[in-house]
Amino acid sequence: MSQSPGVKGRRILVTGGLGFIGSNLVCRCVELGARVTIYDSLDGRAGGSFHNLTSVRDAVTVVIDDIRNRDAVAATMSGQDVVFHCAGYTSHAGSMAFPFDDLDVNCKGTLNILEAARRSNPDVRLVQLGTSTQVGKMRSAPVDENHPEFPLDVYSAHKSLAEKYFLIYGKAYGLATSVVRLSNVFGPRAHIRTNQFGFINYFVGLALQDKDLTVFGDGRQVRNVIYVDDCVSALLLVAERPEATGQVFFVTGDEQYSIKQIAEGIVEAMGRGRVRPVEWPSDKAAIEVGDAVISNQRIKEILGWRPRHTLVTGLVATRDYFRSCLDQYLG
């Protein structure tokens, strides 16, 4: 089954399209012949950059505004066929420090998207990006879409709430909504300068600078990971297939790796850096979920999606991308 559904000629809106996942999605949509509009605030806390659009800048329309601006969201929603809602704050620690900012962006901003669709474009297809950390600590393994949710940080709680908004608007107003929960996405165009946008991408940045990759404790807690190209293929499939309407999908790789294994794999792939264990900081320990073993069986069964990259192949591709433009991401 093809994992590159036909989007040629379709009008696609990507909120947060200058960020990591959004920009990779934009580039793929342009390659497939879609008419793409990006809506992004370029807020420094969200990690967006025009450099992410180097290969497609002249082929897309860019609207610089905030999803908290209800009127601007409504104006941009008009006439779109598909909306991928990638915009948001993604820092777990940042959400604990600034919970009301996180609420405004990840919840109120999401409601602005849904209200704009309900009022002015009810036929649009809407895909929300969620996170596996909505679940909190794993109570049974593997974690699937029916696992209870007890998030441990404000960001994860707000993403859980935003997901419920999507499902409610789908059922109450007949909107075509779907949710994709992601787990540790890594790859090209990621923000690699700080640890606020995923530990794998931050570790990549550290290794490329020949610095230490600090692993908390023994680093034995396990995670699913997914290379960004596989993430994009899943998002496109969810947007294309009617069977995805009203569904929530975990999108992850097939294998689990310990944090230590991931760090060691990054050092090996980048050819630089060192893994150094350190004690757990108290603020990080308070929101740590422990092992997270995620099942991707539902999206496989319903849509036929399969990840094509392993941790190793994804890291090699990531290395090759950043080595040619590292100054743009670390400057």
Look at residues 106, 99, 102, 64 and name the one whose alpha carbon lies nearest to residue 85: 106
* pLDDT (tens place) for every residue of the chain, 331 residues total: 334 457 889 999 999 999 999 999 999 999 999 999 999 999 887 788 999 999 899 999 999 999 999 999 999 999 999 999 999 999 999 999 999 999 999 999 999 999 999 999 999 999 999 999 999 999 999 999 999 999 999 999 999 999 999 999 999 999 999 999 999 999 999 999 988 778 999 999 999 999 999 999 999 999 999 999 999 999 999 999 999 999 999 999 999 999 999 999 999 999 999 999 999 888 878 878 888 999 999 999 999 999 999 999 999 999 999 998 999 998 7
Residues with Cβ within 8 Å of 184's Cβ and at least 6 positions away in sequence, in order, are 132, 198, 199, 200, 223, 224, 225, 226, 252
Instruction: Look at residue 2 in the predicted model and tell me its pLDDT.
Output: 39
- The CATH architecture assigned to 11-330 reads 3-Layer(aba) Sandwich (3.40)
Q: Is the omega angle on the peptide bond into residue 142 within 30 degrees of 0, that is, cis?
A: yes
Distance CA 169, CA 179 (A): 12
Question: Do 45 and 19 meet the contact criterion of CB atoms below 8 Å apart?
Answer: no
Reported as type and span, the H/E element at residue 240 is helix 228-240
Look at residues 58, 59, 63 and name the one whose alpha carbon lies nearest to residue 79: 63
Instruction: Look at residue 233 in the predicted model and tell me its pLDDT.
Output: 97
Instruction: Look at residue 4 in the predicted model and tell me its pLDDT.
Output: 43
End-to-end, the C-alpha distance of the chain in Å comes to 42
